[in-house]
Amino acid sequence: MLHVKNITFSYNKTSVLKSLYFDAKPGENIAIIGESGSGKSTLLKVLYGEYDLNEGHVFWKDKEILGPKFNLVVGYDFMKYVAQEFDLMPFITVEENIGKFLSRFYPEEKQMRTDELIKVVELEAFAKTKVKTLSGGQKQRVALARALAKQPEIILLDEPFSHIDNFKKQSLRRSVFKYLKDKNITCLVATHDKEDVLGFADKMIVLDDNKIIKNDSPETLYKNPETPLIASFFGEFNAINNNLVYANQLKVVKTSNLKANVTQSYFKGNHYLIQANLDGNNIFFEHHSNLKKGKIVALKIEV
């Protein structure tokens, strides 16, 4: 169990994290979201012991996580941190990078473990390739596999799929997050991408103004976003009559008190995103077909 108790942290008197409380159970996946500068990456670094706290405590089970004032070497064996910058060895192969810190006394076990992780991050075709020749996304996958090599109890991921091509992201997410669940590894992932959260995270922590404003399941927060920040994370939304309404909750009907003037249509594959003017404000809704500019439509909110 990870216990975060009233932690406060500042950079040179500039407050970054203010009085944060939360827990994470073994095997639980916690997503951390917030705008740029909200403290997501800093929180992961604090949890890893890279910085000293101004106030509060962080515990993994009965072990307190302490910063550089107390540890000559940052980090703990039971915890791994994958940053946005990859600290890899460029002149050796993918499999050598992953197996570098595994015991050489058990070569067969080492090779099996390396092969397993190469499969998890879907790099089988590049096992014998030197890291220096890989793309940024491939290097990110090597960094993920290497962090998992020694079977940590908790892993901290900072935008773990940000460098990876869109066509590869979905299958890779499923593979990595399934592996973490199967191995009962606690995961905290800082992200700006809802696809890293929906379908994978057990809880979602929302940071705003350096504080936690919400800590709940993604489903609960999606259905009851409460603030524009939360709604915007999940997609296009509108503020109508003091309610936050997603674009997919507005439907075109024959008659309604809500009448909007279409100003733009955007093709989105299985639907069109329609921009319209409602009482002088821009709104967005989804529709199965293109709508011409200037068309007046009646809209209904379907929650």
pLDDT in tens, 74-114: 889 999 999 877 788 899 999 999 998 787 788 888 899 99
Strand boundaries in 34-126, DSSP class E: 55-60, 63-64, 79-82
pLDDT at 83: 87
pTM of the full structure = 0.91
Q: Three-state DSSP class for 152?
A: coil
Backbone angles phi, psi at 196, to 5 degrees: -75, -15
Strand boundaries in the chain, DSSP class E: 2-11, 14-24, 29-33, 55-60, 63-64, 79-82, 154-158, 186-190, 203-208, 211-216, 237-240, 243-246, 250-253, 258-267, 272-278, 281-287, 296-301
CA distance 40 to 243: 28
Residue 282, strand partner residues:
277
Separation of CA 293 from chain center: 37
pLDDT at 150: 84
Q: Would you state the structure tokens that stand for residue 19, as one six-digit string?
A: 């009085």
Backbone angles phi, psi at 259, to 5 degrees: -125, 130
Backbone angles phi, psi at 54, to 5 degrees: -80, -40
Residues of the chain with pLDDT under 50: none
Q: Could you give the domains of the chain?
A: 2-228 (3.40.50.300), 238-301 (2.40.50.140)
CA distance 51 to 68: 6
CA distance 172 to 167: 10
